[in-house]
Amino acid sequence: MPDAPSGSCRVPSAVLLIACANLASLLLARGETRQSEFAVRRALGASRGRLLRQFMTEGLVLSIGGGILGVALARAGVAALIAAYPASMPRAGEVSVNAPVLLWTLAVSVGAGILFVLAPIMQTRAQRLLTALKEGGAKGATGAARQTIRRGLVVGEVALAVMLLIGAGLLLRTVLNLTKVDAGFAPAQLITFSMRLSGVAYRESAARAQSWQRILDKIRAVPGVESVTAMRSLPPNRPSNSNNTDIESYTMPSNGQPEVVNYDQSVMSGYFETMGIPIVAGRGFQQTDAASAGRVVVVNETFVKTFMAGQNPIGQRLRRIGWYDSAWWTVIGVVRDVKQGGVDRETGTELYFLAEQAERTGPLAMPATMNVVLRSTLPTAAVAQTLREKISVVLST
């Protein structure tokens, strides 16, 4: 999975600091009620170091106990989340409270216990304990130092709470903005899974192409499946695979801008219909294109604006530089831009190649691993078992 952004770690850290400040305030208040006890123990010969060890032990027991409770609640929460969304949550089987989480919890618990137990120890100075002993604790709660510590903790909590509130508001606005971003395809009612063809029978690209086609044909026959296709990579979290491209009708401008295409995608027939990607001009791939002598390619709108502005892109030719052959690919269609690199990023130029033609060209050889995507009105659980059975029949023949 992609790495979590650094901001995602700041929210739990701020919540932890607020909880620790509350704990320190409680320990400080508890310490004020024990002024007479501390004074008597110091009068009987107990050193500040001994009192510090007592505070440390009490704080560690409290914080570690809280950490254990937190881990138990986290495990229960994860189990409840998986039980509530067994099919819709991606990679649910990998979600767990693992060893790194336990070690981090232990480290945070010990660190918090050591750090925030220091506030009450400031009340054990000899002069303050002597005053508390003389006054019988009657004015113990009015010490200027104790009030300063308490005010500091309150100010810190308020500041952290304001930061969390502002961060939550910004996060909510970001989420709302992201929901309004047009990714370029229709994700509703899509079911995806990844498959790999392994073994001697699938070493040749042509054999893999035939197997993938049989798998798709079997899935199309499943009741409730409207359309199905397969592709190398799934949007919208694809890395850029920039390649130099020779475009026949493109004239390089004076600034020397290279003909670099940001993305290329190897897809099977029915891709645009299944993904819900509108065709702006021309047409998409058809099964008859697989047997066609000419190689065909579909481009996106940004590609046309970048390299074919003012021209009719249909019928234009291009070829990839550095491939095993120098075959030309003919543009047969233009499709709407898709957010391949993320919904928060600009759309790049993109080429779509027909995977069924792949065995003719080395770099585009039909891959052994493909992402199968189908559009269905039925829930995933309703078609999952049928899909397994259909695919097993194809792989066993």
Q: How far apart are CA 31 and CA 2, in angstroms?
A: 46
For the chain, give every domain's residue range: 7-180, 190-396
CA atoms within 13 A on the CB side of 198: 2
Residue type, 270: G
Long-range (24+ apart) CB contacts under 8 A made by 84-87 are 87/379, 87/380, 87/381
Peptide bond into 313 cis (omega under 30): no
Alpha-helical (H) ranges within 136-278 are: 144-180, 205-220, 271-275
Percent of the chain with pLDDT over 90: 15
What's the pLDDT band for 137 if we cut at 50, 70, 90? very low
Q: Given a cut of 80, is residue 22 above it in pLDDT? A: no
Residues 307-335: what's their mean pLDDT? 86
Q: Given a cut of 90, is residue 224 above it in pLDDT? A: no
Give the three-state DSSP class for 389. helix
Report which of 246, 206, 262 is spatially closest to residue 326, judged by C-alpha positions: 246
Q: Given a cut of 90, is residue 35 above it in pLDDT? A: no
| CB neighbourhood size of 309 (10 A) | 9
Cβ-Cβ contacts under 8 Å for 193 (sequence gap 6 or more): 371, 372, 387
Report which of 332, 319, 322 is spatially closest to residue 292, judged by C-alpha positions: 332
Report which of 325, 375, 332 is spatially closest to residue 352, judged by C-alpha positions: 332
Q: How far apart are CA 367 and CA 230, in angstroms?
A: 11
pLDDT tens readout for residues 352-386: 998 877 555 555 566 778 899 999 888 877 788 88
What is the gyration radius of the CA atoms in the chain, in angstroms?
32
Q: How far apart are CA 89 and CA 168, in angstroms?
A: 23
CA atoms within 13 A on the CB side of 333: 19
What's the pLDDT band for 301 if we cut at 50, 70, 90? very high
Q: Strand 350-354 vs strand 263-267: parallel, antiparallel, or unpaired?
A: parallel
The whole-number pLDDT of residue 136 equals 53
What's the pLDDT band for 6 if we cut at 50, 70, 90? very low
The answer to whether 302 touches 350, Cβ cutoff 8 Å, is yes
The whole-number pLDDT of residue 2 equals 39
* Residue carrying structure tokens 């305030």: 25
Q: How far apart are CA 63 and CA 137, in angstroms?
A: 28
Instruction: Output the average pLDDT for the chain.
Output: 77
* Residue carrying structure tokens 């010990």: 110
pLDDT tens readout for residues 255-292: 666 678 889 888 988 999 999 999 999 999 988 888 88
Structure pTM?
0.60
Residues 157-186: what's their mean pLDDT? 80
